[in-house]
Amino acid sequence: MKWQIVFYKDADGSQPVKDFILSQPHSAIGEILHVFDLLYKFELSLGWPYVEKIEGKIWVLRIKHGSDYYRIFYFTFTGRKFILLHAIKKKSDKLPRREIEVAIRRMITHEAC
């Protein structure tokens, strides 16, 4: 059974990562989808420079498009699923702690469902 890439859903049914991606320029969306395709194909063996472990169960997809850097936080879940939790356009060298905490909160919420 292949792994699935799944967008996290809020209590109201919104999908913040999907909404973030769709708000980006078309060329950036293409690059993001390319990295999703790599994750789908290589599953857990996809590594640097596309994937980085952040904290606990939280990992991040690293996407570069031109001079822009995107990060999509995710974790693996029962049933061979990559749950995409949070997405940002990175503006500094270090990931802001508040962004990591958003991903952690969403992971906890998803696990509780």
3-state secondary structure of 45: helix
pLDDT in tens, 57-106: 999 999 999 999 999 999 999 999 999 999 999 988 899 999 999 999 99
Dihedral sign, CA of 33, 13, 19, 109? negative
Contact 58, 73 (CB under 8 A): yes
Instruction: Give the pLDDT score at 91.
Output: 85
| Count of structural domains within the chain | 1
- Domain of 52 in residue numbering reads as 4-112
Instruction: Give the pLDDT score at 20.
Output: 98
3-state secondary structure of 91: coil
Query: What is the largest distance, in Å, between two alpha-carbon atoms of the chain?
Result: 38
Q: Please report, for the domain that includes residue 49, its CATH number.
A: 3.30.2310.20
Q: Which two tokens stand for residue 83?
A: 């749950």
pLDDT in tens, 14-38: 999 999 999 999 999 999 999 999 9
Instruction: Give the pLDDT score at 107.
Output: 97
pTM: 0.95
